């Protein structure tokens, strides 16, 4: 026990009938090493005017809380709440719930806070921390006890057991983890299913026939359907081609104006690795809509500057130069879809994209 | 048999006796009732997080009763006309059902979302309080680490939560999450395939996120919050320096009734504010976004605010790709650095900070007294540096909206963010360290010379000087005895040391006779007289 330890008061006999309840409380505080330094009423005497006023205010807050709780209940039950088109009473349902419940709870909170802060006596108590670590003896005893547990097991003396435990439990641990992890593992490089490297425009998804470009309702597209300077989001013309099952397939079909088209063709035909050569059809070009950065649709088409902008991270691609990234975090151009028109005059893809579509990854060729 | 009348007092006493016979509860219960808590408004910031978490649990349970985490596509047939007939996942349809056809469902959804935003915000502010006051120092390092983990878990709880409705915005977030997984070297494609159950998006992810969001993450959060509070209870709360306060005691008020009442009242007030926001302020109006389609996105696709810093870092990252010319060639996309390495560093560095600081200061003692930010300028500077970094990153997460609303070029916003991210943190460090030293210096001046009274005196030789009121005793010449710097508030205005009478009670009219206001010039006490006469 240190010198300033706890209360200065002497211990008292709590069974002494002369003690008040507060005397007994103080004896408890003494035993818990707490000293009350200040404990005084916030008012100038019992039933002071100020005290009555505080009590009135707190009572008002409790009643206000109850009133708004009733408003909440009644509105919850009787106010028209079903959604209807247009400007109707049901528009106010959620706001009324929020305001009434909000005021009710807030008033209750303030009432309790005011009670604690304004009515209860002002108090300053001091408690000793006792944050000292265990004594060296205690530490030694506990440490030795723990070591003795190891001695009792005798693992150190019985090396065979040590090895057997390791060799026996490690496989069991792996066996426990295997079904948890193994069930989740999918080979992303399986050839049977088109993952990573294929989109819905691969003729394989269409029984080895060329895949048409379609709208989201599945209808095919003729060159006349896109006016010069216009663009259209197209999907592979296979069942479910516009659904999220083919999340990598959405493509932007752009009808360029003649001079831009010429620039684009020169750039595509002069493509260094030759992948974009001859991929345009007339003044039409089609780029994958899936950003090569994080996979958002790079869908904001700036007609004047011939740029495609991805709204997620602002990568910008130059349409007239093989959709090279010219700003933002993307490093790789948008793949170009080789276009043609079939016998019936509808757009088809002559093959799948020749570059991998979508965000970059480690082993992308 | 004579029936005895039931005496409530005796029944309670008997019950208590029985309880103590069985659990020996009396002594520990007394300790609990008597436990002393130090009080300061800044200690309540963490409470807001706790209360928001309780609201999250309550409202979240309600939401699970109606939400269907299925990705099966069905045509919408609910009461929102604009989407009727549209193909969408069950998850999205049930979220719309919850919003339009469940009585009070929209209110509960918005309450859940607002509580989540408040949860994360109060964690950040609470962490800032703990950091800047040095409350993380020994013996509380582990609790600081748990706090950082709570933020990380809250981050993932929030992300999985707003992915669940499967609307246009949440699908975009999922797509980016998949790209982040893909960006991991070597294992990227395998990790993404494992989590999505094949190629993105697959048909499993909503169900998997659902179980993570309603069971795994909240379970871990609940466990860590319990440990967090248990450690606070065991180690006792830190306190500010001040009269009577030492490193070995706790000065405050007993837990019951006053402290507990304050907690309860504050909970109700926080709950009330959340309920008010849930009713009045629309949040995440999923019916406007439509179902998720891989081909559709709009501008202003922002995540919740606590994810925006990461989105901002991703936007600011230059397009630096690392190619490894080996075999078929491998690459590390630029997304990897901000989203994986950046996020990892932003969580591991703060976790390690308590030990780094202790090592630098060669400090192995336990600290229970808080430091004012100005009393550890380097720490303040480092914290402000981190906050500046976080702020620039967060604002950059909304740089398209800022560019649009303020008519700034989008590319200029990106460049401003890139430069700001490098320049502003060191600047924040320098400025805050200088301010901290300045404030310290001013405290020391007042301790040495006293408070400026605003009274100017002319000396016989014509010199003008201001009279200072010493804060402590004066020596035989009447000069103030310099006071020791205590790392605590120094009064700097005469009003703070009682030159002005106490405030009159009452809002519209005084409820008690106002105390005597001092007359001007104030009647000069003996100490003051000596001071004045001393400077002759």
One digit per residue, the tens of pLDDT, for chain A of length 365 reads 333 444 457 888 989 899 999 999 999 999 999 999 999 988 888 888 889 999 999 999 999 999 999 999 999 999 999 888 888 999 999 999 999 999 999 999 999 999 999 999 999 999 999 878 899 999 999 999 999 998 998 888 888 988 898 899 999 999 999 998 888 998 888 765 556 788 899 998 888 999 999 999 999 999 999 999 899 999 999 998 999 889 999 999 999 999 999 999 999 999 888 899 999 999 999 999 999 999 999 988 888 899 999 999 999 999 999 999 999 999 999 999 999 999 999 999 999 999 999 999 998 86
- The C-alpha atoms of residue B349 and residue B356 are separated, in whole angstroms, by 9
Yes or no, beta carbons of B301 and A330 under 8 Å apart:
no
Q: Do A94 and B292 count as a contact with CB atoms less than 8 A apart?
A: no
Residue B387 placed within a domain: no
CA gap B153, B221 in Å, rounded: 7
Kindly state whether residue B159 falls inside one of the protein's structural domains. yes
Q: Evaluate whether residue B494 is within a structural domain.
A: no
CATH number where B229 lies = 1.20.810.10
Is B319 within 8 Å of A325 when comparing Cβ atoms?
yes
Residue A89 forms part of a structural domain: yes
Chain B: residue whose CA lies nearest to A316 = B411
Contact flag B265-A112 (C-beta cutoff 8 Å)? yes
Work out how many domains chain B is built from and give that number. 1
In a domain? residue B395: no
DSSP symbols for B308-353 = HHHHHHHHHS----EEE-STT-EEE-TTHIIIIIIHHHHHHHHHHH
- Considering CB atoms only, which of A109, A233, A329 is closest to B319? A329
A329 and A225 both lie in a single domain: yes
Strand partners, A281: A284
Residues of A in contact with B36 (CB under 8 A): 34, 125-127
A123 and A227 housed in the same domain? no
Domain assignment present for A234: yes
- Residues 99-138, chain B, touching A (beta carbon < 8 A): 100-101, 103-104, 106-107, 110
- Give the domain CATH number at A229: 2.102.10.10
Domain assignment of residue A31, yes or no: no
Q: Domain limits at B345?
A: 36-242+250-371
Cβ pair A332:B321 closer than 8 A:
yes
Q: Are A110 and B193 in contact (CB < 8 Å)?
A: no
**In angstroms, rounded to a whole number, what is the distance separating the alpha carbons of residues A353 and A197?**
9
Instruction: Name the B residues in 240-299 with CB < 8 Å from any A CB.
Output: 244, 247-254, 257-258, 261-262, 264-273, 275-280, 292-299
**Percentage of residues in chain B with pLDDT exceeding 70?**
94
Residues A207 and A109 placed together within one structural domain of the fold = no
pLDDT in tens, B362-376: 999 999 999 999 999
- CA-based nearest distance A121→chain B, Å: 9
- Same domain assignment for residues A315 and A207: yes
Q: Where are the beta strands (DSSP E) in B6-155?
A: 36-37, 73-75, 87-89
A149 vs chain B: nearest CA distance in angstroms? 28
User: Do A96 and A210 share a structural domain?
Assistant: no
CB A294 within 8 A of CB B179: yes
Q: Does a structural domain hold residue B454? A: no
Examine the domain organization and report whether A209 and A345 are in the same domain: yes
Is B250 in contact with A126 (Cβ distance < 8 A)?
yes
Q: Do A290 and B294 touch (CB under 8 A)?
A: yes
pLDDT of residue B498: 80
Complex ipTM: 0.92
Q: Where are the beta strands (DSSP E) in A95-210?
A: 122-128
Low-confidence ranges of chain B (pLDDT < 50): 522-536
Instruction: Select the residue of B194, B244, B511 nearest A50 (Cβ to Cβ).
Output: B511
Mutation pick from A64, A83, A84 vs chain B, by most beta carbons of B within 10 Å, is A83
Rounded Cα distance between B455 and B458, Å, is 10
What are the helix (H) ranges across B362-492? 377-396, 399-405, 410-449
- Chain A residue with CA closest to B177: the answer is A294
Write down the pLDDT at residue B476. Answer: 87
Among A222, A253, A205, A208, which residue's Cα sits nearest to residue A341?
A: A222
Note the pLDDT of residue A137: 95
B130 domain residue, yes or no: yes
CA atoms within 13 A on the CB side of A133: 10
A76:B295 CB<8 A: no
Please give the residue range of the domain that contains residue A306.
203-349
Neighboring chain B residues of A22 at a CB cutoff of 8 Å: none
Minimum distance, in Å, between the CA of residue B528 and any CA atom of chain A: 29
Partners of residue B315 in chain A, C-beta under 8 Å = 313-314, 328-329
For A90, name the nearest residue in chain B, comparing CA atoms only: B100
When divided into structural domains, chain A yields a total of 2
| B332 interfaces chain A, CB cutoff of 8 Å | yes
Q: Which structure tokens are listed for A100?
A: 């009434």
Both tokens assigned to A139:
């530490």
Q: How far is A81 from chain B (nearest CA, A)?
A: 7
pLDDT tens readout for residues B173-194 = 999 999 999 999 999 999 999 9
How far is A146 from chain B, CA to nearest CA, in Å? 24
- Could you tell me if residue A271 is inside a domain? yes
Please check whether residue A335 is in contact with residue A287, taking contact to mean a CB–CB distance below 8 angstroms.
Answer: yes
Helix (H) or strand (E) holding A309: strand A307-309
Q: Which of A82, A103, A127 is the last residue of a domain?
A: A127
The number of C-beta contacts closer than 8 angstroms across A and B is 320
Cα-based angle B348, B354, B358 (whole degrees, multiple of 5):
135
User: Considering only alpha carbons, which residue of chain A is nearest residue B413?
Assistant: A314
Same domain, A230 and A95: no
Residue-level pLDDT at A103: 98
Q: What is the pLDDT of residue B16?
A: 93
Beta bridge partners of A324: A318
- B482 class by beta-carbon count within 10 Å (0-12 exposed, 13-18 middle, 19+ buried): middle
Q: Is residue B385 part of a domain?
A: no
Does B334 contact A105 at a Cβ distance shorter than 8 Å? Answer: no
Cβ of A81 within 8 Å of Cβ of B103? The answer is yes
Q: Could B272 and A108 be called an inter-chain contact, meaning their C-beta atoms sit closer than 8 Å?
A: yes
Indicate whether A220 and A328 sit together in one domain. yes
Give residue-wise pLDDT tens across range B424-466: 999 999 999 999 999 999 999 999 988 998 899 999 999 999 9
> Which chain A residues have a beta carbon less than 8 Å from that of B279?
94-99, 101-102
DSSP 8-state class, residue B197: T
Say whether B197 and A184 touch across the interface (CB within 8 A). Answer: yes
Closest CA to B342 of B313, B364, B321: B313
Give the SS3 label for residue A180. Answer: helix
What is the structure's pLDDT at B91? Answer: 96
Give chain A positions within 8 Å (CB) of B404.
none
Residue B400 has its nearest CB partner, among A97, A106, A314, at A314
Task: Name the nearest CA neighbour of B378 among B423, B436, B424.
Answer: B436
Mutating which of A76, A218, A294, A365 best tests the B interface, going by the most B Cβ atoms within 10 A? A294
Closest Cα in chain B to A75:
B104
Q: Do A329 and B314 touch (CB under 8 A)?
A: yes
- Name the residue facing A327 among B252, B261, B411 (closest C-beta): B411
A153: in domain: no
Judge contact between B56 and B108, C-beta under 8 A: no
**CA dihedral (A28, A30, A31, A33) positive or negative:** positive
Please tell me the predicted confidence (pLDDT) of residue B483. Answer: 87
Contacts of A327 in chain B (CB under 8 A): 411, 414
> Model-level pTM greater than 0.90?
yes
Q: Residues 150..179 of B with a Cβ closer than 8 Å to A: which?
A: 171-172, 175-176, 178-179
Task: Please indicate if any CB of chain A lies within 8 Å of the CB of B321.
Answer: yes
Q: Is residue A36 part of a domain?
A: no
pLDDT at res. B533: 39
CA distance A165 to chain B (A): 31
Is B503 part of any domain?
no
Distance, in Å, from the CA atom of B292 to the CA atom of B200, rounded to the nearest integer, reads: 13
**Is A292 a member of any domain?**
yes
The percent of residues above 90 in pLDDT, for chain B, comes to: 77
For residue A257, tell me if it sits in a domain.
Answer: yes
Whole-number average pLDDT of chain B: 91
């Amino acid at each position: 026990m240190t010198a300033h330890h706890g209360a200065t008061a002497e211990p008292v006999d709590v069974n002494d009938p002369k003690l008040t309840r507060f005397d007994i409380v103080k004896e408890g505080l003494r035993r818990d090493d707490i000293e009350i330094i200040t404990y005084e009423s916030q008012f100038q005497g019992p039933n002071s005017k100020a005290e009555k006023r505080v009590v009135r205010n707190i009572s008002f807050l409790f009643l206000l809380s109850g009133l708004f709780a009733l408003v909440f209940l009644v509105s919850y039950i009787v106010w028209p709440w079903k959604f209807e088109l247009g400007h109707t009473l049901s528009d106010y349902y959620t706001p009324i719930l929020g305001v009434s419940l909000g005021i009710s709870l807030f008033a209750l909170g303030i009432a309790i806070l005011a009670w604690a802060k304004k009515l209860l006596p002002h108090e300053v108590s001091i408690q000793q921390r006792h944050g000292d670590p265990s004594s060296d003896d205690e530490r030694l005893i506990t440490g030795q006890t723990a070591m003795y547990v190891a001695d009792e097991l005798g693992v150190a003396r019985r090396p065979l057991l040590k090895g057997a435990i390791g060799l026996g439990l490690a496989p069991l641990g792996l066996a426990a983890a295997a079904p948890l992890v193994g069930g989740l593992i999918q080979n992303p490089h399986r050839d049977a299913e088109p993952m990573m490297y294929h989109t819905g425009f691969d003729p394989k998804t269409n029984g080895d026939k060329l895949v048409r470009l379609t709208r989201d309702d599945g209808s095919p597209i003729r060159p006349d359907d896109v006016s010069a300077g216009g663009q259209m989001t197209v999907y592979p013309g296979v069942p479910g081609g516009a659904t999220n099952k083919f999340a990598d397939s959405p493509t932007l079909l752009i009808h360029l104006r003649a001079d831009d088209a010429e620039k684009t063709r020169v750039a595509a035909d002069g493509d260094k690795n030759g992948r974009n050569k001859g991929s345009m059809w007339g003044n039409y070009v089609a780029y994958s809509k899936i950003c090569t950065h994080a996979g958002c649709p790079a869908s904001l088409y700036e007609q004047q500057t011939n740029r495609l902008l991805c709204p997620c991270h602002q990568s910008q691609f130059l349409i007239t130069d093989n959709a090279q990234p010219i700003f933002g975090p993307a490093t790789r151009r948008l793949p170009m879809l080789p276009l043609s028109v079939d016998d019936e005059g509808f757009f088809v893809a002559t093959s799948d994209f020749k570059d991998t579509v979508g965000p970059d990854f480690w082993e992308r060729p | 048999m004579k029936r005895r009348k039931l005496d409530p007092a005796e029944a309670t006493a008997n019950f208590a006796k029985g309880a103590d016979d069985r659990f020996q509860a009396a002594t520990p219960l007394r300790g609990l009732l008597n436990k002393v808590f130090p009080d300061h408004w800044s200690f309540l910031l963490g409470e807001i997080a706790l209360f928001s978490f309780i609201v999250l649990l309550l409202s979240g349970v309600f939401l699970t009763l109606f939400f269907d985490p299925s990705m099966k596509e069905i045509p919408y047939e609910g009461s929102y006309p604009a989407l009727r007939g549209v193909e969408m996942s069950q998850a999205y349809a049930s979220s719309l059902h919850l919003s339009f056809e469940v009585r009070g469902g929209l209110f509960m959804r918005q309450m859940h979302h607002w509580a989540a935003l408040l949860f994360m915000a109060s964690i950040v502010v609470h962490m800032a309080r703990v950091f800047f006051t040095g409350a993380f120092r020994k013996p509380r390092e582990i609790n600081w680490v748990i706090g950082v983990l709570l933020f990380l878990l809250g981050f993932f709880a929030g992300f999985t939560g707003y992915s669940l409705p499967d609307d246009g915005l949440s699908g975009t977030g999922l797509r980016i999450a998949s790209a982040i997984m893909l960006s991991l070297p070597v294992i990227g494609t395998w990790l993404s395939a494992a989590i999505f159950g094949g190629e993105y998006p697959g048909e499993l992810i909503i169900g998997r996120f659902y179980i993570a969001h309603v069971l795994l993450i909240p379970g871990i959060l609940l466990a860590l919050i319990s440990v967090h509070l248990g450690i606070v209870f065991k180690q006792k709360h830190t306190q500010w320096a001040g009269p009577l306060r030492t490193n070995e005691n706790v000065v405050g008020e007993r837990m019951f009734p006053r402290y507990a009442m304050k907690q309860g009242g504050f909970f109700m007030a926080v709950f009330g504010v959340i309920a008010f926001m849930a009713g009045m302020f629309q949040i995440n109006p999923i019916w406007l976004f439509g179902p998720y389609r891989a081909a559709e996105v709009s501008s202003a696709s922002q995540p919740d605010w606590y994810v925006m810093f990461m989105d901002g870092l991703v936007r600011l990252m230059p397009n630096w790709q690392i190619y490894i010319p080996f075999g078929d060639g491998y690459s590390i996309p630029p997304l990897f650095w901000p989203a994986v390495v950046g996020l990892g560093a932003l969580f591991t560095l703060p976790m390690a900070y308590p030990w780094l600081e202790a090592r630098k200061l060669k400090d192995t003692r336990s600290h229970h007294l808080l430091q004012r930010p100005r009393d550890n300028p380097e720490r303040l500077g480092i914290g402000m540096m981190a906050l500046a970094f976080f702020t620039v990153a967060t604002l950059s997460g909304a740089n398209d909206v800022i560019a649009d609303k303020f008519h700034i070029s989008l590319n200029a916003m990106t460049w401003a963010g890139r430069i700001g991210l490098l320049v502003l943190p060191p600047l924040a460090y320098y400025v805050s360290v200088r301010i901290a030293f300045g404030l310290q210096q001013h405290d020391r001046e007042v301790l040495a010379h006293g408070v400026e009274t605003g009274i100017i005196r002319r000396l016989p030789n014509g010199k003008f000087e201001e009279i200072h009121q010493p804060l402590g005793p004066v020596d035989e010449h009447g000069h103030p005895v310099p006071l020791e710097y205590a790392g605590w508030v120094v009064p700097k205005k005469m009003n703070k040391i009682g030159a002005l009478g106490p405030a009159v009670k009452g809002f519209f009219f005084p409820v008690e006779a106002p105390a005597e206001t001092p007359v001007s010039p104030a009647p000069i006490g003996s100490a003051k007289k000596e001071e004045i006469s001393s400077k002759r």
